[in-house]
Amino acid sequence: MTDAFKVKIKDRSLLERFPFPFQGDSYRYSNNSRALVPPVCIDVTPEYREEVLEKRRLLEQYPERTFRSFPHTLAAQWEIAGMLMHEMSHVYPRYFRLEKEGRLWTFQNKLIHEEHKFIFGESSTLPYEPLDFIGRHVQEDLIYLQQRDGDLYMDAGQLCFPANWSLAFDLGMTYLQFHSPVPIYSESGLAQKVLGFLLRMEAGKPWTRLNWTINVGDRLDTSPEEFGDWGKNKYLLHLGNVGQEVRLRTEDQRLFRLSGNNGILFSIHTHLLPLEMLVQNQVWAERFYKVLEDLPDPLAEYKGFISFKPLLLEYLQDHIGARK
């Protein structure tokens, strides 16, 4: 199978498998979490190889902003790495294999032709910290929230594909602190309610939610540290290129309570869908138009597209009208 043919298959299936985030014609922040069924943290999509290789490039080029941890998280990191290796080899046995001889483990990634032997629990036998190691084998960003003193602290994470937020800046912050920039969410009291929900999460009962924003271009790494490279693109949009350049960005966020360390693993799988593909689904196009039309300006500003929101509405309206 040629690479060109693989790309065509991927593009053809993208619209069908894209996690469209809107259940109604209006959007406001809410605790839209639902039980995760099946309870699987990791997805493997046709973009696997290119996204994993891009993560590795970013980790090597920008280590200070893509992986951070505190020393006290090491036991939790091992628990996360072990949990994900077991899941990956069980859910995707064609792609991953895990063999165990006591504490001597062998993890095989058939998609990128790698094999690693290590002693579980001994960090010197891995090339990276456990969370950083397993993160280099998955498409998801991985954040560890440590629960203590009745709160959640962002104490470790591998973040390569952020939607304009910084792991280096947020490391060590509490849940309410790192959500403080989100308009309406914090001052409404919803953030405190969601924190209470997370603190009550039980091991073996994971949750999931969809978050969304707008991307200009196909760049997954929209970190504030690199804003100078990607932020300017929104000022180059016009009606002739908005369908090709603008993408609906959905984050499939999953939450797992760790049984051994009482923290929470927060995984983020980012999906991008060009507007020109989205409008092929009439129902989605109409709903997205209504959501954007109704969205309060503070939310559009926070999500970074208030300057070209009218252009989005015009493009969507043109395509909705043309199909009626």
- The C-alpha angle with vertex 122 and arms to 117 and 124, in degrees rounded to 5, equals 75
Q: Are 62 and 22 in contact (CB under 8 A)?
A: no
- Cβ of 72: how many Cβ atoms within 10 Å? 12
209 belongs to the catalytic site: yes
> What six digits make up the tokens of 321?
């009208």
Exposure string of 218-243, with b = 16+ CB inside 10 Å and e = fewer, is ebbbbbebbeeebeeebeebeeeebb
Give the Cα separation of 299 and 122 in Å (integer): 45
CA 156 to chain centre: 15
Greatest Cα pair distance in the chain: 64
**Catalytic residue of the set 209, 249, 254, 323:** 209
Q: Taking the CA atoms of 10, 13, 19 and 20 in sequence, report the sign of the dihedral they define.
A: positive
Q: What is the total residue count of the chain?
A: 324
Position 201, amino acid: M
Name 225's Cβ contacts closer than 8 Å, sequence gap at least 6: 62, 65, 166, 168
User: For 248, what's the count of Cα atoms within 13 Å in the CB-facing half-sphere?
Assistant: 27
> What six digits make up the tokens of 5?
């043919």
CA 288 to chain centre: 21
- Which residues are tagged catalytic? 209
